[in-house]
Chain A
């Protein structure tokens, strides 16, 4: 795939830069990979809606020159569902942080998975609430320090891949900010997948998470991520002991057979209208 270099500025609202994220923040890597994925798919930016909730990650849509919607905390998928239902031929991408998507937005998340509506959700998992000042999230590791766990976190954390699979998502992948190429490929395939796609991206928040956990700069934190991740193909050949403490990245699950929600509704309309017009004897 020898393609011309990507014109990132074509997809960005250059007048909104510089962005508001901390130096070294992982979210920028995710936005770059998103643009790469969209460019690779050749999607028209007029046909793309990028929707977010509240938090650092949720500021991403503002920088993208598309149809962008910055909603309320946790609710991005609800707005996205309305957008997709109303305009089912368009591309809808949701980008959320871990707290936004899986704590306050947890109910919406599992139900979007269950419906298998053709939306791509990117969850930038940096294990912390960054914007509000470093409180623990549903993905903060056991024992970690956060603003609200000064004595160490006792909350068990979610495995987002298992959560998405269990709830019915039909494309589930995990990427990490230390491997932009792999991330872009997984985002691309998730966007192309016809159904609800979840891509968890392991990301660094050295400012709020790292600072409290002896990893106060971006490089140390990205190293921490890089040393934990194992690509799926490699992990498949490893023993359980070898996988202890590791996190598997790559395509974790895909099901192309399950019906997509807006397709089902279109079929329902067809069925109902055929019946109604037969009854009324008119074409309408």
Chain B
């Protein structure tokens, strides 16, 4: 049985937030630290209930910064760890998210996006943290951010977030929005046979021969846990393979390049998306999260009216699917990019398309989802001007 909270039928009717929490347990998450914030709090509620049942631990910390620090600490001891938050909390976590990049510590951060900036619209949808997910913390770093749109996909993406964090030794962002988080949807809970679990690679050498950032084993060095006899050092300062600080320009340069390369060399494979009616499309929509659900409705309606339009539904926000969008841009005449912000991912579509063509946004930031009718209007307008 996947979960103690289902009725045994395998079919559940859960909020997106509940899906994330149950999937995290299934992924092997055994430590959660969080701070109350709408609209992500239900993730903490379920983790507080479920973790002790499976021998894991939950802690409500004094603030968002502390929650982020705590999951890094727990992960360094070998325990898969997660925190969840929303915009204002995401901002506060950025300091230690940067630490996790620099020290290469696996962990998962869920951001249930609401309206912003600042306190913004605590109970209403936003999709305006997507560039923050990419560049929120200071310094260069790669980013893996997933944005599923359906509950079963949320479940599998949560597991994937843990798997990728373990595989690449980096913090991975799971970007939901308020609508998905609070919407209940029937789904069949994935069985363990529907997914696989990834654990960080442990050292194959003796403690005497071990270095925490030893690239002899590839761009993702094997990771020992604290208290296993390896007695290694971890710092947020630039460091050598030994984990100790350095200001040597050559080492700083090569290590920072490695930390980006370890993810970006797999960028194409990481960029997961769903193509819907794109084969003969003249207009492509790029959308993600709950907005992609509405966009799909708009595509269906436009097709009925004879407009050749399809949907590129991004499941991975970062790394951005550069090659797929570039290829698509050669085939279509225009892009429509609906998003609940004032134009964030559209900049990436423009960059990746690398062509002089109409790329138009549908942007709403009033705390309501984008109605399919507004996406349809934009499709028709673009088709007419085509």
Interface residues of A (CB under 8 A from B): 16, 45-47, 49, 51, 61-62, 65-72, 75, 77-87, 90, 107-108, 110-111, 265, 268-269, 272-273, 276, 280
Contacts and interface: CB of A to CB of B under 8 A. Distances in A.
B254 to A, nearest CB: 21
Contacts of B217: none
Given A70-B237, A86-B77, A81 B59 contact: yes
A49 B227 contact: yes
Contact of B57 (A46, A86, A280): A86
A69 B68 CA distance: 15
A69 B66 contact: no
A62 B234 CA distance: 9
Interface string B70-84: 111111111101000
Interface in B303-333: none
Nearest to B235: A70
Contacts of A81: 33, 59, 61, 66, 69-70, 73
B139 interface: no
A283 to B, nearest CB: 13
B226 A78 contact: no
Nearest to B66: A78
Contact of A82 (B69, B232, B235): B69
B74 A82 contact: yes
B62 interface: yes
B192 interface: no
Nearest to B95: A72
Given A268-B52, A280-B4, A83 B74 contact: yes
A68 B233 contact: yes
Contacts of B59: 81, 85, 265
Contact of A111 (B66, B99, B229): B66
A71 B234 CA distance: 8
A62 B61 contact: no
Contact of A67 (B31, B33, B69, B227): B227
**Chain B at the A interface: mostly helix, strand, loop or mixed?**
mixed
Contacts, number: 140
A82 B72 contact: yes
A94 to B, nearest CB: 11
Given A69-B73, A86-B31, A272 B53 contact: yes
B81 A67 contact: no
A252 to B, nearest CB: 24
Contacts of A72: 69, 95-96, 99, 236
Nearest to B70: A82
Contacts of B65: 75, 78
B279 interface: no
Given A62-B235, A81-B33, 6 more contacts: A49-B227, A68-B234, A69-B226, A78-B61, A82-B70, A86-B79
B244 interface: yes
Interface string B227-248: 1111111111100000011000
B227 A65 contact: no
A257 B111 CA distance: 40
B274 interface: no
A54 B121 CA distance: 35
A70 B238 CA distance: 12
Interface of B: 4, 30-31, 33, 52-53, 55, 57, 59, 61-63, 65-79, 81, 95-96, 99, 226-237, 244-245
Given A70-B233, A72-B236, A80 B73 contact: yes
Given A81-B66, A87-B227, A108-B66, A70 B73 contact: no
Given A70-B236, A79-B72, A272 B66 contact: no
B244 A62 contact: yes
B53 A276 contact: yes
A51 B78 CA distance: 17
B231 A71 contact: no
Contacts of B245: 62
B61 A69 contact: no
Query: Closest 7 CB pairs between A and B?
Result: A82-B73, A78-B69, A82-B70, A79-B73, A111-B62, A82-B74, A86-B74
B33 A82 contact: yes
Nearest to A279: B4
A108 B62 contact: yes
B236 A85 contact: no
A101 B321 CA distance: 43
9 contacts: A62-B233, A62-B235, A62-B244, A69-B235, A75-B65, A78-B67, A82-B73, A82-B77, A90-B227
Contacts of A90: 77, 226-227
A85 B74 contact: yes
Contacts of B33: 81-82
A284 B231 CA distance: 34
A192 B317 CA distance: 49
A143 B267 CA distance: 58
A85 B57 contact: yes
Task: Give the one of B53, B55, B79, B233 with max A CB within 10 A.
Answer: B233
A75 B96 contact: yes
The listed residue with most A CB atoms (<10 A of its CB), out of B53, B77, B226, B236, is: B226
Contact of A85 (B31, B55, B62): B31
A33 to B, nearest CB: 21
Contact of B4 (A51, A80, A269, A276): A276
A86 B53 CA distance: 15
Contacts of B230: 67
Contacts of B95: 72, 75
Contacts of A273: 52-53, 55
A86 B228 CA distance: 14
Contacts of A272: 52-53
Contacts of A68: 231-234
Most buried by B among A70, A75, A78, A272: A78
Contacts of B96: 71-72, 75, 78
A113 to B, nearest CB: 11
